Amino acid sequence: MSGRRSSGSGTGWPKYKYNNSNEGKEENAVVQQPIERPISLYPLTNYTFGTKEPLFEKDQTVQARFQRMREEFDTGGQRRSVEGVLIVHEHGLPHVLLLQLGNTFFKLPGGELHDSEEEVDGLKRLMTETLGRQDGVQQEWVIEDCIGNWWRPNFEPPLYPYIPAHITKPKEHKKLFLVQLGEKALFAVPRNYKLVAAPLFELYDNSTGYGPVISSLPQLLSRFNFVYN
């Protein structure tokens, strides 16, 4: 069956009519409507940052980390981890909240899931452990979309946003989730970390400074419509 597209009434893509030459009549094609996901951003000055006891990694060295991953993989299989992307704005520009350890290491809040733990519940637990306040008030975490998937093919640092063709059993699966912050909040930051707000333009194409996962955030977030409050 042959056919051709012809311009329909009105403007905009992809509004058109489909002409079927065999039947000699026009049928309206399905009109695709644009999809916009509004995400509210609030000023960095709306948030208060306190401190709490240091939060230490389970492993003291990179070598120890991958040795533990190897041992756990032999017994429990692929590691699952989740991280939260928290966005504020300053001077009308989106900024991502990052945990800074030392002078050059940055990470998103999150960590490893327990066995059979659901991803959203696990992320809320990890966010509370990392940034939850200490005065007994429960922090409400609103988890929006999953915005990224990364895989670790071997017991080594490199992560990829896909599973390489020759890999049948990735060693870790990391998922990134967008967290919708409330208008105001109090965060308690572990004393051995600093919580910094990094603008998207600084992260973009800057894997040298922030690593491949964090430097990919500007592209991952570009599909959202930020509403500045």
Per-residue pLDDT of the chain (229 residues; tens, 9 = 90+): 444 444 444 544 444 444 444 544 444 555 555 567 789 999 999 999 999 999 998 888 999 999 999 999 999 999 999 999 999 999 889 999 999 998 889 999 999 999 999 999 999 999 999 999 888 788 889 999 999 999 999 999 999 999 999 999 999 999 999 999 999 999 999 999 999 999 999 999 999 999 999 999 999 999 999 999 9
Query: Contact at 8 Å (CB) between 151 and 173?
Result: yes
**Domain membership flag for residue 18:** no
Looking at the structure of the chain, the number of domains it has is 1
**CATH number of the domain that 133 lies in?**
3.90.79.10
- Structural domain contains residue 33: no
For residue 2, tell me if it sits in a domain. no
pTM listed for this prediction: 0.82
Q: What is the pLDDT of residue 229?
A: 92
Domain containing 193 equals 38-228
Contacts of 122 (CB under 8 A, 6+ apart): 82, 113, 114
Q: Give domain status of residue 57, yes or no.
A: yes
Helix residue spans in 48-203 (DSSP H): 62-76, 119-131, 200-203
Residue 152 maps to a domain: yes
Whether residue 46 lies inside any domain: the answer is yes
> Residue 186 domain-assigned?
yes
* 49 within some domain: yes
pLDDT at 30: 53
